[in-house]
């Protein structure tokens, strides 16, 4: 939950010290726990430290294990199918063999993309597990955007704004001019160590919509921007539910000394579901003196709160939402992946 400030120059920071709630929540719907994916998937096949997941068109599931630098491919019933060893893709490269983070994304071109920030590379894997190509140097960013046609877009700082560069050529898309990085409640001196590049990495989440629009979500202000390819902003609004905002404010106030040069996102683990055209974001709400509840908020792509959901039976635990598989929700708790079901 904590993202440490990094050294750099101050860049376009606005601190909103007295934000106003603009959404009233309804009671949370409980998500039912239906299974735990076992650590032992097959003979001599284990999950030791899974950190990333992706879903292949609501069917096969891919899990990346940080300890082993391997991807486990499971079927829709979470039975083991295959292993993809990302180290083998580098061949003669001198590469760290274990304990390396990487992040999965299944593209709408039916290929698995594995972003390896340590090696600054993006691996492109076909459904059979074969390496298709490995693009050249990928800048160190938190994420890349994959278009339905397999175009890789990387966010960059451009003339006091943010734009997305086609990795294969010098073409720019979705340019947001004079982009403001907003922080809720944080004092100016708590945020001014970010450089412009670092702000775009740690603050924002980006996802490609099926109709060619791009969603940009700032985790520290809960601002959602929808932009078309020409750069026209179709939607720009902070999503501030009343209970989440109140709990967030109280948490920051109680931890002011402890936090110091760190910042806590308002919403985290953003995930865009292209089928439902909804944005899923996670937060924790303090229910009592020592009681915390992890919640998923579901917003339409025009900023309407459709519902919120709670992970039944997992209060007071750090629950990290990973991905959605049809009506299943995969979450990580203490290095174990649990499956919750949204009841119809």
Please report, for the chain, the start and end positions of each structural domain, with discontinuous segments joined by +. Answer: 3-341
* Contact assessment for residue 302 and residue 235, using Cβ atoms and an 8 Å cutoff: yes
pLDDT of residue 161: 83
Round to whole Å and give the CA distance between 81 and 299: 34
In this structure, which topology does domain 3-341 adopt according to CATH? Neuraminidase (2.120.10)
Alpha-carbon torsion (259, 262, 267, 271), positive or negative:
negative
Round to whole Å and give the CA distance between 231 and 96: 40
Q: Please measure the distance between the N-terminal and C-terminal CA atoms of the chain and give it in whole angstroms.
A: 31
pLDDT lower than 70: segments of the chain: 1-12, 91-96, 133-137, 140, 142, 187-202, 257-262, 289
The pTM for the full model equals 0.89
* Contact assessment for residue 89 and residue 52, using Cβ atoms and an 8 Å cutoff: no
Round to whole Å and give the CA distance between 287 and 316: 10
Side-chain half-sphere exposure of 159, counting CA atoms within 13 A: 6
pLDDT of residue 229: 80
Round to whole Å and give the CA distance between 179 and 13: 9
Q: Which residues of 61-86 are buried (b: 16+ CB within 10 A; e: fewer)?
A: bbbbbbebbbbbbbeeebebeeebeb
Give 170: exposed, middle or buried? Use CB within 10 Å, 0-12, 13-18, 19+. Answer: exposed
Round to whole Å and give the CA distance between 294 and 316: 8
pLDDT of residue 152: 83
């Amino acid at each position: 939950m904590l993202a440490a400030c990094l050294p750099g120059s101050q860049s376009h920071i606005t601190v909103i010290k007295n934000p106003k709630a603009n959404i009233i929540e309804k009671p949370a719907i409980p998500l039912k726990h239906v299974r735990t994916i076992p650590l032992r998937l097959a003979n001599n096949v284990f999950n030791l430290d899974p950190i990333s997941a992706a879903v292949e068109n609501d069917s096969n599931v891919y899990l990346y294990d940080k300890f082993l630098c391997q991807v486990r491919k499971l079927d829709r019933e979470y039975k083991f199918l295959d292993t993809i060893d990302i180290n083998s893709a580098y061949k003669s490269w001198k590469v760290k063999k274990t304990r390396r983070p990487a992040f999965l994304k299944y593209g709408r071109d039916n290929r698995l993309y594995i972003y390896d920030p340590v090696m600054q590379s993006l691996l492109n894997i076909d459904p059979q597990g074969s390496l298709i190509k490995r693009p050249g140097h990928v800048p160190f960013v938190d994420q890349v955007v994959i278009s339905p046609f397999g175009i890789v877009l990387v966010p960059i700082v451009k003339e006091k704004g943010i734009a997305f560069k086609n990795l294969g050529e010098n073409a720019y898309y979705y340019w947001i001019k004079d982009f403001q990085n907003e922080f809720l409640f944080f004092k100016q001196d708590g945020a001014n160590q970010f450089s412009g590049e670092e702000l775009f990495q740690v603050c924002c989440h980006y996802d490609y919509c099926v109709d060619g629009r791009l969603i940009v979500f700032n985790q520290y202000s809960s601002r959602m921007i929808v932009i078309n390819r020409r750069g026209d902003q179709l939607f720009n609004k902070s999503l501030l539910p009343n209970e989440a905002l109140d709990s967030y404010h109280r948490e920051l106030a109680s931890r002011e000394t402890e936090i110091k040069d760190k910042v806590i996102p308002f919403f985290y683990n953003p995930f865009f579901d292209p089928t439902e055209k909804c944005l899923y974001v996670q937060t924790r709400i303090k229910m009592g003196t020592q009681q915390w509840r992890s919640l998923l908020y579901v917003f339409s792509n025009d900023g309407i709160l459709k519902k919120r959901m709670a992970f039944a039976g997992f209060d007071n635990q750090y629950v990290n939402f990973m991905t959605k598989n049809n009506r299943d929700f995969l979450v990580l708790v203490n290095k174990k992946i649990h499956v919750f079901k949204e009841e119809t």
